[in-house]
Structure 1
């Protein structure tokens, strides 16, 4: 299970880093801070799937609440939306080994 968490967390962090680099190069090109929202990125990659996800979530019991949450998430930069869960998931998958500290008088 920890392996799956580490792989998923690393994958999310990798995609977040790619999105951060894309925003950084756009910012350098325009001499202004450019933050591309997740919604814009998703629309440019595959707009039809975004509409399908919205339609799927609208048909659920908490559809109106989910629509508000998804709309809010899609306005944030993509690297933030993927990076924060990536850090948390990778942290959950860390190894559980005990740290052994040696006192100076034990040397």
Structure 2
């Protein structure tokens, strides 16, 4: 499966410390094809550091790529609902950090 990661900060966070190493260790089943952060500089730095071919400074471009089957949302909770909804609306499967939302209603 081809994975796009939202929130792949090169310096810190679950993507850098957990998701990317785990997905790379499962390379027979998963390929990270794209990543996004909210800043061009950090997206480019993460792309270079992790060897991921495509980087965006917005999540819309990532979720609309044909070579992304699954979107991993690795940002803080307040953004889970918005990002998950955009990815689902684009027809993508979603993996989201816990908790899924800010309270039961969002989850």
Give your verdict on TM over 0.5.
Answer: no
- Higher normalized helix content (fraction of residues): 1
Q: Whose radius of gyration is greater, 1 or 2?
A: 1
Quick one: higher RCO (CA 8 Å, sep 6+), 1 or 2? 1
TM-score (norm 2): 0.23
